Amino acid sequence: MTKQELVERVHEATGDGLSRKRTAEVVDAIFRTIVDSVRDDGKFFHPGFGTFVVRERKARMGRNPRTGEPMEIAGSRTVAFKAAQQLRDNLG
């Protein structure tokens, strides 16, 4: 599903109360809020959907694919998602 398709489905689900442009602004605001929550609090939880959580990756040794020489890969932060049981059950 694309963003445009998401906006269209939300617009249809909410009836004629909002214009498509306003619906797109609301969808953008929701995603900005989720990103801000994950960045600031380290997680975002929505019952029945799941949890986004920040995970720390430790620095590790790897190999340069061109030369085969060992190299250090810096640690980093990433986002993981764990689906709620209700969502998993609805997948069939």
Domain boundaries, the chain: 1-41, 42-92
CATH entry, 42-92, from 4.10.520.10, 3.40.50.1240, 3.40.50.460, 3.40.50.300:
4.10.520.10
16 pLDDT higher than 80: no
What are the respective helix, strand and coil percentages of the chain, to the nearest 5? 45, 30, 25
Structure confidence at residue 55 (pLDDT): 96
65-87, pLDDT tens digit by residue? 999 999 999 999 999 999 999 99
The share of the chain scoring above pLDDT 90, in percent, equals 93
Q: Give the largest Cα separation in the chain, rounded.
A: 61
In the predicted model, what is the mean pLDDT of residues 33-58? 96
Cα–Cα distance for residue pair 27/4, rounded to 1 Å: 10
15 pLDDT higher than 90: no
